[in-house]
A and B are shown apart, each in its own frame.
Chain A
Amino acid sequence: MTDAAPVLAARGVSKSFFGNPVLRDVSIALLPGRVHALLGENGAGKSTLINILSGALPADGGSVEIDGRAAARITPPEARQAGIAVVQQELSLTASLSIAENIGLGDYPRRFGMIDYRALADRAKSVCALVGLDEALSTPVGTLPLGRRQMVEIAKALYRKPRALILDEPTSSLSATETAILTALLVRLRAEGVAILYISHRLNEVMALCQHVTVLKDGGVTADRPLAGTDADGLVRLMVGRDPGDLFPRWQRSPSASDVVSVNGFSAGLARDIDLDIRTGEVLGIGGLVGQGQEDLLLGIYGAIPAKATTASVNGAPALPSSPPKANALGLAYVPADRKREGLHLIHSIATNLLLPAFARLPALTLRHRSAERETVRELAARFAIKGDPARQAQALSGGNQQKVALAKWMPHDPLVLLLNDPTRGVDVETKREIYIMLRQFAAAGKAVVLLSSDTPELVHVCDRVAVMREGRLVAMLDHGELSEEAIVAAAVGAERRRQAA
């Protein structure tokens, strides 16, 4: 098994986006008849590596080998030709087309120049049987639940009879039954000699299914070894454990904490059945893998999406705010993750952006005072060190400065509760540090700061408490004393449950 030539391999591959290195000298080899696990935190470079292996992205350096033949880059058609199939995390299906049409898309059997629907149905039916899809083949994919769509995506990959199969978090939306079917299928494909790359955050699946593991961290390989003899805790340690350096300000407990927001039985969007207290004078972290309902928790508390709770108390009010203006009136402020789409008005001036929450709250026909506005803008720009002429469009600013504008615009209202959705994503190190210091200052000034973050180290070093969410539920609440990257990641992937069972 070990001496077989790799079907697909990357040798010393590097890639950077806009000057940020995402992959550094990464090598990985997919052998036939082996399930290879690829692990890493959010943003470790897993998706980029997959895209390079499947030809969707060219590498900056290094080479990709198919059956031992090296090439600086391969194109997606070449990859398909060589039998490489990818099951993407973000589904690539067309909602209005049927199951069969989606499965065969791009590789329809032809007869007299037309699509041979009978042959398509036959071939689609055989792969659907493999993954346990028993819906009618003519069902539009858009009408299927997410888990079934994921199975269509897998069937689509199998339709091409792959020799190398890459699965990017295939089980994140699957039920237990579907996961079992997929596991059995992968075991069979492995026996047939298919090379499989399996990406998952569920360590128990990885331990059960895979033989070899590669761990990525900050774009570099930290482990590449057989899985035998490794335990879940060992894997978690490999995924985290970087040197935090002096990026973070020294943590100090702020004096006096009292509850300002309390919810029981809170549900909104993906978030379900959450009991949570947000206290003044502290930074409360919200962690977990991406998309476990963290964002819906913040948006629900902010009144931006429909939410319900058995009991709720928000700054003295006995119910959740029903809209952002009402949340603002209760002293809540929200800074979105997607600055360009949700946070800023890119075509408007920096000054207009900074003043918008004020305009939103004033009685409609209040006359504007230009000189007072200019003074406010000047103060905010100075306090947050926002660079550039305030009359320029916000889209001219760098990511870090845009983030500062999105945060600064709330300051004239002196919000009591700041809900921050991943405020340091895509922000340079210097601005990150400035933001951390500001967050601690807010807490010291008696405000409540909620920091939703995909960056585990910042949760550990900036927060007083961290709530970890998994599959919409709040699965752990860690106090500052028990905070560590290992503890957060373990709670996020459900490793602590295994430990208790063991």
Chain B
Amino acid sequence: MSAAGSVMPRVSAILRSRPFLTVAVVAAVWIVAGVTMRGFGAFGHLRYLVELAAVIGLVAAGQTFVVVAGGIDLSVAAIVTVSAVALPLLSLPGDPTGMSAVLATLALSTAIGLANGLGVAFLRVHPMIMTLAMATFLQGLLILIAGGTAISLDNPLVTWLGNARPAGIPVGILLWLAISAAVLVVMHATAFGARIFALGANPLAAALSGVPVNATTIAVYGISGFTAGLAGVLVLGMNGQGYVGIGDPYLLASIAAVVLGGTSILGGLGTYAGTMPGALLLVTITALITVVNASPGWRSILFGSLILGLLLLSGRESARR
């Protein structure tokens, strides 16, 4: 009796939680679209959608950390591009696996994220300004280095990452699942995770409670740089070449996935468990719009409107304080 009494509220809490609702919306859209549209429900098509969601999901993993900690990272798209363009350039001739180039690229993107964090923590620059300035700086650098040319990939590890399908499952999806598990553990089961929620909910109270605010801030932007860099490596593997602008779609997508998943844009509340179905929802919407067969301009307008509409339906925050 008592056991059932304690389980029932928990079940209803899960049913009413934002991550679950987002999963339910994705499932409903898939079922309706699968029944009404030829080819949508095919295993190959759904697998492709999840593979696309993996890229958004990786970028949004770091974004979730930053947003929960009360900030925002507007440089993720530029970091994705930097990663996808720099990796072919960083390839060493003496390394047949390509591992060294991947590690160097991830170190570079993490360093960019840490630089964002240093600016926000020590220079007290607003996160929006800091990361936007960083994005602009990186874009300039990319134009100088890569110009308008696409840079072809010659790296066995990255090609494998973007194309291999052990047991029919793309490596990109496996990578996303592994990173997701790590993110969920760090966020909800470690002291560091508890600190970022405290920092986002009330930075002043967090500081007075002894939370190392600067170190925590730098760490979350470093994580965001790392996951954006990882997404860049994956998207490069899937594409076969890197070019300026390859990361552009992932800025709005990462923020939208975070917010659609129920994380408060004001910080302090949320979970990556919501961001994951949020990313799936975004690629699903994109796929449906593509089927409509409109011009790219109209597709973009439709995509923006749908995100706004979804947020109005589910994501409006109740006023705080």
A353 shortest CB reach to chain B, Å: 9
Contact check, B210 vs A361: say whether CB atoms are below 8 A apart.
yes
Contact check, B268 vs A324: say whether CB atoms are below 8 A apart.
no
Q: Which of B190, B195, B205 lies in contact with A341, CB distance below 8 A?
A: B205
B197 shortest CB reach to chain A, Å: 7
Docked CA distance A356–B209 (Å): 7
Contact check, A328 vs B210: say whether CB atoms are below 8 A apart.
yes
Docked CA distance A297–B212 (Å): 21
Contact check, A347 vs B191: say whether CB atoms are below 8 A apart.
no
Interface-lining segment among A50-58, A64-72, A277-285, A362-370? A362-370
- Tell me, yes or no, whether A357 is within 8 Å of chain B by CB: yes
- Tell me, yes or no, whether B202 is within 8 Å of chain A by CB: yes
Residues on the A chain within 8 Å of B190, using CB? 364-368
B194, B207, B208, B269: most-surrounded residue (chain A CB, <10 A): B208
- Tell me, yes or no, whether A392 is within 8 Å of chain B by CB: no
A486 shortest CB reach to chain B, Å: 34
Residues on the B chain within 8 Å of A358, using CB? 191
A374 shortest CB reach to chain B, Å: 13
Interface of B is mostly: helix
Considering the complex, give the chain A residue whose CB is closest to the CB of B191. A362
Residues on the B chain within 8 Å of A366, using CB? 190-191
- Tell me, yes or no, whether A342 is within 8 Å of chain B by CB: yes
Contact check, A343 vs B205: say whether CB atoms are below 8 A apart.
yes
Q: Which B178-213 residues have C-beta < 8 A from chain A?
A: 185-186, 189-192, 194-195, 197-198, 201-202, 204-212
Docked CA distance A346–B209 (Å): 14
Contact check, B212 vs A360: say whether CB atoms are below 8 A apart.
yes
Number of A residues with CB within 8 Å of any CB on chain B: 33
Docked CA distance A338–B198 (Å): 17
Contact check, B210 vs A357: say whether CB atoms are below 8 A apart.
yes
Contact check, A304 vs B208: say whether CB atoms are below 8 A apart.
yes
B136 shortest CB reach to chain A, Å: 28
Residues on the B chain within 8 Å of A341, using CB? 202, 204-205
- Tell me, yes or no, whether A159 is within 8 Å of chain B by CB: no
Docked CA distance A266–B197 (Å): 35
- Tell me, yes or no, whether B124 is within 8 Å of chain A by CB: no
Docked CA distance A101–B212 (Å): 44
Docked CA distance A367–B206 (Å): 20
- Tell me, yes or no, whether A336 is within 8 Å of chain B by CB: yes
Docked CA distance A342–B208 (Å): 7
- Tell me, yes or no, whether B321 is within 8 Å of chain A by CB: yes
Contact check, A348 vs B210: say whether CB atoms are below 8 A apart.
no
Residues on the B chain within 8 Å of A344, using CB? 202, 205
- Tell me, yes or no, whether B320 is within 8 Å of chain A by CB: yes
Contact check, A325 vs B268: say whether CB atoms are below 8 A apart.
no
- Tell me, yes or no, whether A120 is within 8 Å of chain B by CB: no
Contact check, A304 vs B197: say whether CB atoms are below 8 A apart.
no
Docked CA distance A324–B213 (Å): 10
- Tell me, yes or no, whether A483 is within 8 Å of chain B by CB: no
Docked CA distance A278–B191 (Å): 32
A348, A368, A409: most-surrounded residue (chain B CB, <10 A): A348
Contact check, B210 vs A342: say whether CB atoms are below 8 A apart.
no
- Tell me, yes or no, whether A198 is within 8 Å of chain B by CB: no
Contact check, A365 vs B202: say whether CB atoms are below 8 A apart.
no
A187 shortest CB reach to chain B, Å: 45
Of the four ranges (under 10, 10 to 19, 20 to 34, 35 or more), the interface on chain B belongs to: 20 to 34
Contact check, A367 vs B205: say whether CB atoms are below 8 A apart.
no
Residues on the B chain within 8 Å of A364, using CB? 190-192, 195, 219
A343, A345, A362, A363: most-surrounded residue (chain B CB, <10 A): A345
Contact check, B189 vs A409: say whether CB atoms are below 8 A apart.
no
Residues on the B chain within 8 Å of A368, using CB? 189-191, 194
- Tell me, yes or no, whether A334 is within 8 Å of chain B by CB: yes
With contacts A348-B268, A355-B194, A356-B194 known, is A365 near B205, CB below 8 A?
no
Contact check, A359 vs B208: say whether CB atoms are below 8 A apart.
no
Contact check, B192 vs A365: say whether CB atoms are below 8 A apart.
yes
Q: Which of A328, A345, A355 lies in contact with B206, CB distance below 8 A?
A: A345
Contact check, A360 vs B208: say whether CB atoms are below 8 A apart.
no
- Tell me, yes or no, whether A352 is within 8 Å of chain B by CB: yes
Contact check, B191 vs A359: say whether CB atoms are below 8 A apart.
yes
Contact check, A324 vs B194: say whether CB atoms are below 8 A apart.
no
Contact check, B208 vs A324: say whether CB atoms are below 8 A apart.
yes
Q: Which of A334, A343, A346, A359 lies in contact with B194, CB distance below 8 A?
A: A359
Considering the complex, give the chain A residue whose CB is closest to the CB of B269. A347
Interface 0/1 of A363-388, CB less than 8 Å to B: 11111100000000000000000000
Docked CA distance A334–B321 (Å): 23
A357 shortest CB reach to chain B, Å: 5
Considering the complex, give the chain B residue whose CB is closest to the CB of A335. B208
With contacts A347-B269, A365-B186 known, is A356 near B208, CB below 8 A?
no
Interface 0/1 of A70-104, CB less than 8 Å to B: 00000000000000000000000000000000000
Contact check, A345 vs B268: say whether CB atoms are below 8 A apart.
yes
Contact check, B191 vs A352: say whether CB atoms are below 8 A apart.
no
Contact check, B208 vs A343: say whether CB atoms are below 8 A apart.
yes
Docked CA distance A58–B310 (Å): 45
Docked CA distance A302–B208 (Å): 9
Considering the complex, give the chain B residue whose CB is closest to the CB of A395. B321
A439 shortest CB reach to chain B, Å: 19
Docked CA distance A359–B212 (Å): 10
Contact check, A345 vs B186: say whether CB atoms are below 8 A apart.
no
Contact check, A347 vs B320: say whether CB atoms are below 8 A apart.
yes
Docked CA distance A363–B190 (Å): 9
With contacts A356-B194, A364-B192, A365-B192 known, is A347 near B201, CB below 8 A?
yes
Docked CA distance A302–B207 (Å): 11
Residues on the A chain within 8 Å of B211, using CB? 325, 356, 359-360
Contact check, A345 vs B191: say whether CB atoms are below 8 A apart.
no
Contact check, B191 vs A342: say whether CB atoms are below 8 A apart.
no
Q: Which of B186, B195, B201 lies in contact with A360, CB distance below 8 A?
A: B195
**Chain A to chain B: the 8 pairs with minimum beta-carbon distance, closest first:** A362-B191, A359-B194, A364-B192, A360-B210, A328-B210, A360-B211, A345-B201, A359-B191
Task: Sample 30 A-B pairs with CB under 8 A, ordered by A number.
Answer: A304-B207, A304-B208, A324-B208, A325-B211, A327-B210, A334-B208, A341-B204, A342-B208, A343-B205, A343-B208, A345-B201, A345-B202, A345-B205, A346-B201, A347-B201, A347-B320, A352-B197, A355-B194, A356-B194, A356-B206, A358-B191, A359-B194, A359-B195, A360-B195, A363-B191, A364-B191, A365-B190, A366-B190, A366-B191, A367-B185
Sample of 14 further A-B pairs with CB below 8 A, known A324-B207, A345-B205, A368-B194:
A323-B212, A324-B209, A341-B202, A343-B205, A344-B205, A345-B198, A345-B206, A355-B194, A360-B195, A360-B198, A363-B191, A364-B192, A365-B186, A365-B190
Q: Which residues of A contact B (CB under 8 A)?
A: 302, 304, 323-325, 327-328, 334, 336, 341-348, 352, 355-368, 409
